[in-house]
Every structure is written in structure tokens, then in C-alpha cells.
Amino acid sequence: MGVMKEYRVAVVGATGMVGRTFLKVLEEYQLPVKEYVLMASKRSAGSKMTFFGREYEVQELTQTSFDSGFDIALFSAGGSTSAKFAPIAAAKGCVVIDNSSQWRMDPNVPLVVPQVNPQDIAWHNGIIANPNCSTIQAMLPLKALQERYGIKRVVYSTYQAVSGAGRKGWDDLENGVRGFVDGQERPLEKFQHPIFNNCLPHIDVFQENGYTKEETKMIEETRKILGDPQMRVTATTVRVPVFNSHSESINVELEKPFELPELREVLARQDGIVIQDDPAKDVYPLAVNATGHDEVFVGRIRRDESVESGVNLWVVADNIRKGAASNAVQIAQRLIAMWNQQ
């Protein structure tokens, strides 16, 4: 065996909510990296961040940022930044793992959840897309069910945390709580309506067909990751007054009949899933328990008796970790393992 190569990695958008979690996850995963460079927009450049116990100065992301030769860049800086800078980085021989929605549906870009379709990493052309947070967590149980029983139809109803809307979304909920306590109303920074004491059936922008962009993302990304462009999928995505971790009710109609005990086994065996399902003891996945973890928690597993072979699942995961940062770092981990085998 040759000497393990040590890699150079850029973290783009390092100062944002997901960017900061990238740093935390990278510290935990200990990839064979000899140098990290943190980058952000001009506005955040120059700020100092502690990473691996030492202080880093955030560099400004520019046209020439990748000239010095990087192996991997983890991008979490929004779609327009990715549209402009990911191709520049890729042209310099750097593999971009992008957290925005910019490249997800591009047929030349793999859309990857490492426990579900790691084989798709291999055909990248310099850019690999990280799926939408609400899609990522759903893919683990759906992949397991698809392989064993085949999937006819999926119905998503989501209960999504405000951290998915970034710092300002978080602030809207926090300000709402404070306002409720002290009787002082504070202006909204992110949402169209108060999120405190409320549910907003409105994530991202509305489209002509009445679906929001978030709902459309879930539908299209599910088909792409599971490799079934005709799969029947529908979604209603809702922002709820929870700080972190998305919860989802997933109704699945299967092609083949199933017995519940075996179906549970199939889910339990899926890499990355933890079953929490003991209703007699009030055990089921909860947002507060999922926060800080990389696993996807599945419970409330029960037959849908209104169709031939249907099942209902309650699926919860940390949307900033597994739904964004950890998934991207896990892609980087697989990519490095692939390179080390070559």
C-alpha cells in the first residue's frame, strides 16, 4: 500500500449556519486533509474562526481562489455563488460538493446520499450535488423499501425547522418567543407571517402549479436519487415553530405485499437509520433528540390500511447536519476513499 495522500480542502461559505456546521463535522470526521482554507463573500472575509483548535482567517472567494490547487471544495454559499464559482473550481481540478439547489437537477451532476447511491459519486464531472435537507432524510427509508418491495407512490408531509431558513429564520422564531414573553412585537426578518405559534405551508416560492419550490425539489430529487423518473410522488412542505431538525410523515404505497415485522427489519438494516418505535413506552423519533446526530430516526411504522400495500413512517433528522453538512462531508469521505483505492 502506498502512502495515503493528504488533501487540500476549501470550505466556501464558512461563516454561515451550514458553513459553521461543516467545520464542526469536519473536526469530528478527521479526514486525511493537510490543509483547510475557509472562504466566504467579501462581506465576511477577514473574520476569524476557530477550527481544529486554531484560528483561521476567512479568505474572500474570488475568481483566483482555486488557482493554488485544491482537491475538494465544500460549498454552502447559495445558488448564485455556486453557479458562478463551482465551474471555476472544477476547471482547476477541484471536486465541488455543492449544498445549494443550483446543480441538483443537472443531468451531468450526481445527486448523492452516501448510504443510498454512493455509486453515483464515480461519474462526477467536477461537481457533486448535496440534495435538499428534507429529501436527504427520506431517502434512507425509501431506498430500503424500494430495494425490497418496489415503490408505487410516495406522499410527503413535512414539519420543517426554522434552521432550514438560515440565521434569519432562526431569529424570527426566537424573536417571536421573546415577543410573546415580554409583549413587545418584533419585526420579521425572514418569513411572510409569524412563525411562532404558527405553521406556514409555504417553503421557498410558489410556482404556477400551486406547489412551492421546496415541494417540487422533494418530488424531483426523490426520482433522481432513487433512479425512477416516473415515480409517483407528491409533497406538502410546512415550516413549524421548531428550532432544529425536520420531521416528516411519509406514506408509501409498495409494489409488493409485506409483513410488518420483516419491513421493520428491512428498515433497521439500512445503513444510517435508527429505529425508535415503541408506542407503548411513548418512544418515537423527536426533533429534540435528533439534533446533533447524523443518523435518520424512523418510527410510527404502521400499515396504511386504506391501500393494498401501504405503510406510514415518521422520519426525523437534524437538517443542518445530515440534511446538509454531514451529508456533504460523508460524500467527501467516500470520494477520498475512492481516490485512495485507485
**Cβ neighbours for 35, distance < 8 A, ≥ 6 positions apart:** 8, 9
Residue range 231-272, pLDDT digits in tens: 999 999 999 999 999 999 999 999 999 999 999 999 999 999
CA distances from 52 to 9, 27, 29, 30, 34 (A): 14, 6, 11, 10, 12
Q: How far is CA 116 from the centre of its chain?
A: 13
Question: How far is it, in rounded angstroms, from Cα 305 to Cα 300?
Answer: 14
Enumerate the CATH 3.30.360.10 domain ranges in the chain, comma separated. 135-319
Q: What is the mean pLDDT of residues 123-128?
A: 98
Please tell me the CATH code under which domain 135-319 is placed. 3.30.360.10
Residue range 136-150, pLDDT digits in tens: 999 999 999 999 999
Q: What is the mean pLDDT of residues 35-45?
A: 95
Instruction: Identify whether the C-beta of residue 133 lies closer than 8 Å to the C-beta of residue 319.
Output: yes
CA distances from 38 to 12, 23, 57, 90, 335 (A): 6, 9, 7, 17, 20
Give 224's pLDDT tier (boundaries 50, 70, 90). very high
Question: Distance between terminal CA atoms of the chain?
Answer: 11
Q: What is the mean pLDDT of residues 309-326?
A: 98
In 193-309, beta strands by DSSP E:
232-239, 246-254, 273-275, 296-304
Instruction: Identify whether the C-beta of residue 135 lies closer than 8 Å to the C-beta of residue 222.
Output: yes
Q: What is the mean pLDDT of residues 109-118?
A: 98
> pLDDT exceeding 90 applies to what percent of the chain?
97
Task: Provide the pLDDT for residue 2.
Answer: 47
Helix (H, G, I), strand (E, B) or coil at 102: coil
Per-residue pLDDT at 55 exceeds 60: yes
Catalytic positions: 133, 246
Task: Provide the pLDDT for residue 1.
Answer: 42
Question: How far is it, in rounded angstroms, from Cα 189 to Cα 172?
Answer: 6
Enumerate the CATH 3.40.50.720 domain ranges in the chain, comma separated. 7-130+324-341
Task: Provide the pLDDT for residue 4.
Answer: 64
Sign for the CA dihedral angle at 311, 316, 317, 320 comes to positive
Per-residue pLDDT at 160 exceeds 90: yes
Q: What is the mean pLDDT of residues 82-87?
A: 97
Please tell me the CATH code under which domain 7-130+324-341 is placed. 3.40.50.720
